[in-house]
Amino acid sequence: MKRNLKSYLSISLKGLGMGAADVVPGVSGGTIAFITGIYEELVTTIANVNFGLVSTWKNEGFAKMWNQLNGNFILALLIGIAFSVFTLMRLTNYLLETYPVMVWSFFFGLVLASVWYVGKQIDRWTVKLIVFALLGFVIAFGITLITPAQGMDHPLYFLLCGSVAVCAMILPGISGAFILVLMGGYKSISEAVSEFDIQTISLVGVGAIIGLLSFSRILKWLFNHHKTITLAVLTGFIAGSLNKIWPWKNILESEIVKGKEIIIKETSVLPQNFNGDPKLIYAIVATLLGFLLILALEKIADQQPLSNAKH
């Protein structure tokens, strides 16, 4: 697929949105990729990574291999994600610490609109599709209720953490960081990154690569053979994840990791039962802004949000 500079700039901006979402615990960059119309192309591009690329490079040159990889798309997207992560992470953390209810309300509105957006990709809802959507909802909602496990110090465990967490990152709904908390690996991996523990970081990285290449192939197959069912499950999955980003939560258990409070267990409550100022009016406004942002993103997205995926 031929693209001009403006098109690649648009992809980088979408990567910017993905990176911004990924730095927020509980929000998945995969959701932003879906909304902005690049999700299926992203999944397909990752799934197409194989040893055949090396053969193409050897026999036909780097340019042919790069084109087969869809390299310009990946590069533009990674530039946006990296820029967002390194520039917005500090701002996002500050806002979460200073204005938590408003920030969570904004993302609640964003993800709520995402449920509507993904659901409307299905032209005709049937009883069968509703059942699959409910299944996705139950799974995601159940994940948000799981009590975090105790981690362990074993190479295979870190491989597993990387593999599972990266799957969550590309799956709309639940964030990879949240999955690491559930698996009990967030503290160990955070410390490994802070202390430049190359062995642990490498194990997590290898696990992430294995998980990414494997899971993307599954998603590609599902989109190619059972697209409407996949969309129905994703609709329910994103809806079920709303519990994780509900603005009013009372903390039941937490721990400090490198000076940062990591929430271990919390419960969603109504605004009047919140341990603090619910800031209801501000929360409603923030929710509406998040919802309207999705409508705006839809307008600037490609005309065929789930196409252009085959290369």
The pLDDT, as a whole number, for residue 2 is: 67
If pLDDT is split at 50, 70 and 90, which confidence band does 84 have? confident
**pLDDT digit string (tens) for 118-145?**
888 898 999 999 999 999 999 888 888 8
**Rounded distance between C-alpha atoms, residue 81 and residue 28, angstroms:** 13
pTM: 0.75
If pLDDT is split at 50, 70 and 90, which confidence band does 271 have? very high
Question: 267 or 91, which is more confident?
Answer: 267
Which of these, 107, 105, 100, lies nearest to 20 by C-alpha position? 107
